Amino acid sequence: MDPLVSAEWLAGQLGSPDLRVLDASYDALLPGEPPRDHAAEYRAGHVPGALYMDLSGFSDTASDLPSTMPGATQFADRAARLGIDRATRIVLYDDAPHHTAARAWVMLRAFGYDGVALLDGGLAAWKRAGLPLEQGDGAVPPRPVDAGASTTGLRDLAAMRTIQRDASAQIIDARSAARFTGAEPDPRAGVAPGHMPGARNLPYKGLFDADGRWKRDEALADAFLEAGVDLDRPMVMTCGSGITASVLAFGAHLLGRDAAVYDGSWTEWGADPSTPKATGAA
């Protein structure tokens, strides 16, 4: 299965016993932003047979940071409810401005799920193709899951201190230019403006065409290159809370490159008085 699939391809696969379609729409809310009820939106209309993957239930309940990866026990419990194990082919989609299906992709990959793809263009592309929607709640029998540890592709604060100090990998920030430079204050209380010294800025929206589909091939590579990224060197993606950093990681994957995600991202780094910080352009 390709990492990015079309609505037409997915429509032809529905009903396959080894396939699970998951709606991973999620509000990565900043203070002052109006919330959306993605669960209600899912019930109002979703890809037939899809289940709602509530990413708030896949966030570490013991962490003070927003949206961080769950531990193995929490992940296994939630994954079992969705009936997914490592043998399941999984197609993720969303109808969220932060393209949160990419966050679900990073999480599943971290727990050893390799057969995971994204629906190109999300639910909007499905609707534009004139394909049917289903209403109501979905349900499947629970499936036992042995999650293991979530270490693959993730970096913590200690690792990022070393990476930033030694420049052993490129740090690529998915936030807006205004937040990256510090021209706009961070919306979270107690979090400094600016970015990690040495980081490059590639706002995540630059990886998409106007219709919400992913850029591909040369156009996608150009987005990275124009941000000053060397695609042949190691990369670690960061953002505000690990959500849109996942978008950059998936974009790198489409180009055949592996990239890590700094899970705590700027919310952690920017709130720590001991970490170095920079303002202005990269």
Residue 212 pLDDT? 97
Dihedral (CA of 189, 191, 194, 195) sign: negative
51: left (phi over 0), alpha (psi -120 to 50) or beta: beta
- 24-38, 92-106, 127-141, 242-256 — which is least confidently predicted? 24-38
User: How buried is residue 226: exposed, middle or buried, by Cβ count under 10 Å (0-12/13-18/19+)?
Assistant: exposed
Q: Would the pLDDT of 27 be above 90?
A: no
Higher-pLDDT residue of 30 and 13 is 13
In CATH terms, the fold of domain 154-269 is Oxidized Rhodanese; domain 1 (3.40.250)
Residue 279 pLDDT? 98
Q: Which two tokens stand for residue 161?
A: 């201190």
Q: Same CATH fold, 154-269 and 4-128?
A: yes
Residue 35 pLDDT? 84
Residue 34 pLDDT? 81
Q: Cα 228 from chain centroid?
A: 22
Q: Would the pLDDT of 255 be above 80?
A: yes
**Per-residue pLDDT tens for 28-39?**
767 777 889 999
- If you search the block for the tokens 């299906």, which residue do you land on? 101
Q: Region 226-250: what's the mean pLDDT?
A: 98
**Half-sphere exposure (CA, 13 Å, Cβ side) for 118?**
28
Report the distance separating Cα 23 and Cα 122, nearest Å. Answer: 9
Report the distance separating Cα 34 and Cα 91, nearest Å. Answer: 28
- If you search the block for the tokens 């100090």, which residue do you land on? 165
Q: Would the pLDDT of 129 be above 90?
A: yes
Report the distance separating Cα 148 and Cα 168, nearest Å. Answer: 28
Reported confidence tier of residue 206, pLDDT bands at 50, 70, 90: very high
Q: Would the pLDDT of 197 be above 90?
A: yes
Q: Which two tokens stand for residue 86?
A: 């490592």
Residue 149 pLDDT? 65
Q: Would the pLDDT of 267 be above 80?
A: yes
Reported confidence tier of residue 174, pLDDT bands at 50, 70, 90: very high
3-class SS string, the chain = CCCEECHHHHHHHCCCCCEEEEECCCCCCCCCCCCCCHHHHHHHCECCCCEECCHHHHCCCCCCCCCCCCCHHHHHHHHHHHCCCCCCEEEEECCCCCCCHHHHHHHHHHCCCCCEEEECCHHHHHHHCCCCCECCCCCCCCCCCCCCCCCCCEECHHHHHHHHHHCCCEEEECCCHHHHHCCCCCCCCCCCCCECCCCEECCHHHHECCCCCECCHHHHHHHHHHCCCCCCCCEEEECCCCCHHHHHHHHHHHCCCCCEEECCHHHHHCCCCCCCCECCCC
Q: Region 64-89: what's the mean pLDDT?
A: 94
What are the sequence ranges of the domains in the chain?
A: 4-128, 154-269
Q: Which CATH number fits domain 4-128: 3.30.70.20, 3.20.20.70, 3.40.250.10, 3.90.850.10?
A: 3.40.250.10
Catalytic residue (one of 7, 76, 239, 259): 239
Q: Would the pLDDT of 1 be above 90?
A: yes
Report the distance separating Cα 71 and Cα 58, nearest Å. Answer: 9
Please say if 239 is a catalytic residue: yes
Contact assessment for residue 36 and residue 71, using Cβ atoms and an 8 Å cutoff: no
**Per-residue pLDDT tens for 134-160?**
999 998 888 888 877 666 799 999 999
Q: Which two tokens stand for residue 124?
A: 């909007």
Q: Is 0.95 topped by the overall pTM?
A: yes
